[in-house]
A and B are shown apart, each in its own frame.
Chain A
Amino acid sequence: MTLLPYLSKRFLASVITLLAVIFLTFAVFFWLTPDPAANICGQTCTPDQIHAIREQLGLNQPFLKQFWAFLAGIFAGRAYGAGATAVQCSAPCIGFSFQSGTNVLTTIISRLPVTISLAAGAAVLWLLVGISGGMISAVKKGTWWDRGAMMVSLGGISLPNYFVALVLQYLLVVKLKLLPFPTLVPFSENPSGWFKAYLMPWIVLALMYAATYARLIRANMLDTMGENFMRTARAKGLAPAPILFRHALRPSLTPVVSLFGVEFATLLGGALITETVFGLSGVGKLAYDAIQSNDQPVIMGVTLVAAFAVIIANLLVDLAYSVLDPRVRVASR
């Protein structure tokens, strides 16, 4: 099996998954949410007006027809309504917000820089802390270093992040006055302001992940250090550093890659709690606000974008895996 058929197979599987996710998302919102027309119209609304809205949005049509229109919108664009009042929505179209009337996809894309800044910064932090913490724990297994690191990580896993966020804000902003209360500035305008604004959200988000990664790396390292090839490395006369960083770390990191890819992608769908607590207007905050106001197209849009990110990440992780693990690489060839 060469790499190309493998790739096309994985790609096809991803497309099917994506279609299934679109169908499921649409079905859930079709059957489980209250009448969107009434919602749009507001409280002082006559049945005639509601009927007109239904007519315009195509909400009175059967499920499959509506789903087809939605799917067509994503891949080819669609028009809402007919005649002079028709609104054109170009592909990929996930509709318009019931609340603000803006294009959902455009809104999500405008929120992405905040979410990406948050996720990327946190990822750097949690990988650094998680990997080094896990390594130290494994090398110093059974010592106070190990116990200390594992206690901190247990805390990191069990403390809810809104709680950590509040404690950090109180300590760093109110008490010690080390940081200003976060106000968002784009990186291009004021890099240090950008850094200060994101520092606390990064720490809060990274803490939980770093804790999980430290435990995972520790367990992987301990497994690897018991392998026969570690004895070979010592018998070759290698110094402790290459033994640790080359022979032990490499096999321990590979399984982490798959976890990281999917978790990072999940964060691109919005870190709902962290964004809300710090008032960061990212995708998570958008979803939160949309849920508050029952803005169905926006909720659906965020769901789809998040699912899309995870599916893409899964595909990338599979590819990365075939590069990182020589055994997978050859098996797929």
Chain B
Amino acid sequence: MKLTTAPEPDGRIGAMLSVEGLTVTFPALGSRVIDDINFTIEKGKTIGLVGESGSGKSMTSLAIMGLLPEGAAVEGSVSYWGEQLLGNPDSAMRRLRGDRIAMIFQDPLSSLNPYFTVGFQIAEAYRTHRGGSRRQARGVAVEAMRQVRIPDAERRVDHYPHQFSGGMRQRVMIAMALVCQPDLIIADEPTTALDVTVQAQILTLMSDLQDSTGAGMLFITHDLAVVSDVADSIVVMQRGKTVEQGTAEAIFSWPESDYTRALLAATPRLDDIVDLPEPLRGTR
């Protein structure tokens, strides 16, 4: 089902990304890792995809990107501005990946190649889709690093991933994802590997950048507290199925399912800490 062959900048109608009845199975293993997932992402909006590990969050993102592991069978529909992505040949998907739909991963250290400078890796994403000389791409990389507020970007562009702190590395990943100004950013646990204070900085940065670029975002996390700040609506997943789905406000105020309530209860909140007995308060 191909409504438009190429996404037009103007005159787009409907949702940017629409996922309908997405189901992923591994026939050889007889397992169903995602079962009938539905959501849409509008431009400038953020969907939080929440669930414990193994609930199928990451599989959902890989299915959208066309990066599922070998042996996976996928059903349903994923359409991007009306263009059906499921079953698209890899060459067509490559044009979208990193250009229109970009990803940010959990562990920025292992997600960056240790053998190349961060500047090269950011520029590589740009040159793959836009071409241009090395020098020009380097300038773009420096600009992208400034945009994610990496200090001294002009010098840092030639450094290797291990020379950065965890938070700065994640900024590099974000710069790499944003360098082609994508419509949609898939962030797979982007703050999980980071310290709490750094987490807050990265979340602020991400929502600032989203405001200025107008990109849509699929924010995947196990931590409901994290999405409470960023998501417009939330999909709660458990064992591949949707448990609950709605606006962020609704989910937080009136959680319907026991699972969502359990997830909410598992999140330490400031008022819980205040209620703790005296000795425990100090250890927190």
Contact = CB atoms under 8 A, between A and B. Distances in A.
A227 interface: yes
A237 to B, nearest CB: 4
B129 A237 contact: yes
A105 B256 CA distance: 89
B124 A229 contact: no
Interface string B55-92: 00000000001010000000000000000000000000
Interface string A270-304: 00000000000000000000000000000000000
Nearest to A327: B162
Majority DSSP secondary structure for residues of A touching B = helix
A242 B125 CA distance: 12
A229 B110 contact: yes
A231 interface: yes
Nearest to B97: A237
A250 B113 CA distance: 10
B67 A232 contact: no
B131 interface: no
Given A238-B128, A326-B160, A232 B97 contact: no
Interface of B: 65, 67, 94-99, 102-103, 105, 107, 110-117, 124-125, 128-129, 160, 162-163, 173, 176
Interface in A36-58: none
B102 A235 contact: yes
Q: Which of B113, B117, B162 has the most CB of A within 10 A?
A: B113
Interface residues of A, number: 22
Contacts of A250: 113, 115-116
A330 B97 contact: no
B112 A229 contact: yes
Contacts of A242: 124, 128
Contacts, number: 75
Contacts of B94: 237-239
Interface string A221-264: 00000011101111111110010001100110010000000000
Contacts of B112: 229, 232
A327 B114 contact: yes
Nearest to A234: B67
B96 to A, nearest CB: 7
A327 B117 CA distance: 11
A246 B124 CA distance: 11
B257 to A, nearest CB: 32
A229 B113 contact: yes
Nearest to B112: A229
Interface string A291-325: 00000000000000000000000000000000001
8 contacts: A232-B105, A232-B111, A232-B176, A238-B98, A242-B128, A246-B116, A326-B117, A327-B114
A251 B114 contact: yes
B125 A229 contact: no
Contacts of A227: 110
Contacts of A325: 115
B64 to A, nearest CB: 11
Nearest to B120: A246
B163 A330 contact: yes
Contacts of B114: 229, 251, 326-327
A237 B107 contact: no
B128 A236 contact: yes
A330 B67 contact: no
Nearest to A253: B115
